[in-house]
């Protein structure tokens, strides 16, 4: 059982689902790569994949990649967007992508081999997840793979607490909002229509928000900090200043309060961590916690599980918990390195 299914994760983070397909990494013998989403820890060796593989993804991920990298991506015929739930043939295998709920465009991956075995990769996922891949063997994200990573609150409750906190802090002055991509846009969607003040950010945040709006997200326009409207809003003194990917966050807050959006270091029973009366951390997260991860594994029907031990640091612990709690065959990824180029 332990060696029956050809799945693993190598040292560079490439997730192998059979011989023909890898996810979120480059391997020279694989014909295709799946890009599950665009967070940096899943973009390893993307430039190598551009030159040597077909790259499959959701349409939204393709839009986000073009927005970020532009260059030759719009005209490349090996950058292929797949419809969710529609199988695509890759070297005799059937590749299917389903949304994972993690961020705009994020997907789960299912590969059905010619012998009928179904191999899956969760990617980063949120829980509950509307449609779950049905597989025999699964590679699972281990970001919150420790029993210590439990939440006693819902993400809906977190959104309410965030809204209340922003309301309160805006009464004193401007608010800085700091988050990773995906989480930042989710927060802006929560605030849109609820907070009557301008949102100000970099030109890149503005362009990324524009992609979200194209994909149906209701997010108010972000003003560019250096533009005439942006400068006027800054001078007015009541605004939300948003910081995303690549933005330099000033050490001196000036007159601003600061909210960082991350589940890191949050308490299991309270999503709001107060450092001072002007500095907070809010556990807005699109990652499944420990219990959600276990529920997802059960929902896939997998009989054999490999935990991704290259991202998040909880692969070994999660594998032990899967074996003891779920009674499934499980092990952490081998993270094997090779002397061959591109592996």
Q: Looking at the predicted structure, is the pLDDT value of residue 4 above 90? A: no
Q: Looking at the predicted structure, is the pLDDT value of residue 122 above 80? A: yes
Q: 338 falls in which pLDDT band (50, 70, 90)? A: low
Q: Looking at the predicted structure, is the pLDDT value of residue 2 above 60? A: no
Report phi then psi at 243, rounded to 5: -125, 125
If you average pLDDT over every residue of the chain, what do you get?
A: 93
Report phi then psi at 208, rounded to 5: -70, -40
Structure token pair of residue 273 = 């961590």
CATH number of 155-282: 3.40.50
Residue with tokens 């191999």: 119
User: Does pTM surpass 0.85?
Assistant: yes
Report phi then psi at 136, rounded to 5: -90, -35
Q: Where are the domains of the chain?
A: 7-148+289-332, 155-282
Q: Looking at the predicted structure, is the pLDDT value of residue 342 above 60? A: no
Dihedral angle sign, alpha carbons of residues 258, 288, 329, 114: negative
Residues 22-68: tens digit of each pLDDT: 999 999 999 999 999 999 999 999 999 998 999 999 999 999 999 98
User: Tell me, what's the pLDDT at 144?
Assistant: 92
Neighbouring-strand partners of residue 199: 222, 240
Residue with tokens 């802090």: 169
Residues 257-285: tens digit of each pLDDT: 999 999 877 789 999 999 999 999 999 99
> How far is it, in rounded angstroms, from Cα 85 to Cα 70?
27
Q: Looking at the predicted structure, is the pLDDT value of residue 115 above 90? A: yes
User: Tell me, what's the pLDDT at 171?
Assistant: 94
Q: 299 falls in which pLDDT band (50, 70, 90)? A: very high
CATH 3.40.50.2000 for the 7-148+289-332 domain, yes or no = no
User: Tell me, what's the pLDDT at 3?
Assistant: 53
Q: 341 falls in which pLDDT band (50, 70, 90)? A: very low
Q: Looking at the predicted structure, is the pLDDT value of residue 339 above 80? A: no
Geometric angle at alpha carbon 289, from 126 and 185, rounded to 5°:
45
Average the pLDDT over 98-127 and give the result. Answer: 97
Q: 254 falls in which pLDDT band (50, 70, 90)? A: confident
What is the bridge-based pairing of β-strands 304-307 and 107-112?
Answer: unpaired
Q: Looking at the predicted structure, is the pLDDT value of residue 100 above 70? A: yes
Residues 176-195: tens digit of each pLDDT: 999 999 999 999 999 999 99
Average the pLDDT over 101-106 and give the result. Answer: 97
Answer yes or no: same fold for 7-148+289-332 and 155-282. no
Q: 328 falls in which pLDDT band (50, 70, 90)? A: very high
User: Tell me, what's the pLDDT at 251?
Assistant: 82
Residue with tokens 């928000």: 209
Residue partners of 258: CB distance under 8 A and separation at least 6: 175, 176, 178, 278, 279, 280
Residue with tokens 């997802």: 296
What is the three-state SS of the chain?
A: CCCCCCEEECCCCCEEECCCEEECCCCCCCCEEECCCCCHHHCCCHHHHHHHCEEEECHHHHHHHHHHHCCCHHHCCCEEECCCCCCEEECCEEEEEEECCCCCCCEEEEEECCCCCEEEECCCCCCCCCCCCCCCEEEECCCCCCCCCCCCCCHHHHHHHHHHHHHHHHCCCCEEEECCCCHHHHHHHHHCCCCCCCEEECHHHHHHHHHHHHCCCCCCCEEECCCHHHHHHHHHCCCEEEECCCCCCCCCCCCCEEEEECCCCCECCECEEEEECCEEEECCCCCCCHHHHHHHHHHHCCCEEEECCCCCCCHHHHHHHHHHHHCCEEEECCCCCCCCCCC
Q: Looking at the predicted structure, is the pLDDT value of residue 303 above 70? A: yes
């Amino acid at each position: 059982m332990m060696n029956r299914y050809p799945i693993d994760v190598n040292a560079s983070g490439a997730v192998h689902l059979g011989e023909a397909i890898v996810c979120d990494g480059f391997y020279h013998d694989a014909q295709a790569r799946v890009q599950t989403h665009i967070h940096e820890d899943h973009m390893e060796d993307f430039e190598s994949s551009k030159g040597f593989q077909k790259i499959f993804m959701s349409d939204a991920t393709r839009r986000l990649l073009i927005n970020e990298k532009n260059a030759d991506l719009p005209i490349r015929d090996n950058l292929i967007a797949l419809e969710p739930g529609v199988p695509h043939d890759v070297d005799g295998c059937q590749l299917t992508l389903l949304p994972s709920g993690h961020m705009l465009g994020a997907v789960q991956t299912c590969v059905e081999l010619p012998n009928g075995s179904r191999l899956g990769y969760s990617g980063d996922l949120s829980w509950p997840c509307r449609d779950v891949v049905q597989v025999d063997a699964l590679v699972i994200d281990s970001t919150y793979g420790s029993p210590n990573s439990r939440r006693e609150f819902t993400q809906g409750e977190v959104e309410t607490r965030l809204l209340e906190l922003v309301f309160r802090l805006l009464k004193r002055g401007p608010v800085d909002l700091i988050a990773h991509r995906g989480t930042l846009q989710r927060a802006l969607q929560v605030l849109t229509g609820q907070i009557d003040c301008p949102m100000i950010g970099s030109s890149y945040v503005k362009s990324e928000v524009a992609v979200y709006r194209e994909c149906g997200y209701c997010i108010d326009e972000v003003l560019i900090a250096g533009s005439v409207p942006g400068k006027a809003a800054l001078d007015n003194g009541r605004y939300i200043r948003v910081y995303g990917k690549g933005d330099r966050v000033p050490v001196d807050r000036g007159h601003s309060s600061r909210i960082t959006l991350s589940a890191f270091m949050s308490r299991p029973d309270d999503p709001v961590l107060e450092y001072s009366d002007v500095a907070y951390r809010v556990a807005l997260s699109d990652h499944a916690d420990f219990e959600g991860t276990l529920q997802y594994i059960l929902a896939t029907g997998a009989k054999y599980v490999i935990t991704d031990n290259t991202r998040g640091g909880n692969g070994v612990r999660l594998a032990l918990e899967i074996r003891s709690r779920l009674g499934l065959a499980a092990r952490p990824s081998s993270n094997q390195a090779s002397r061959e180029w591109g592996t």
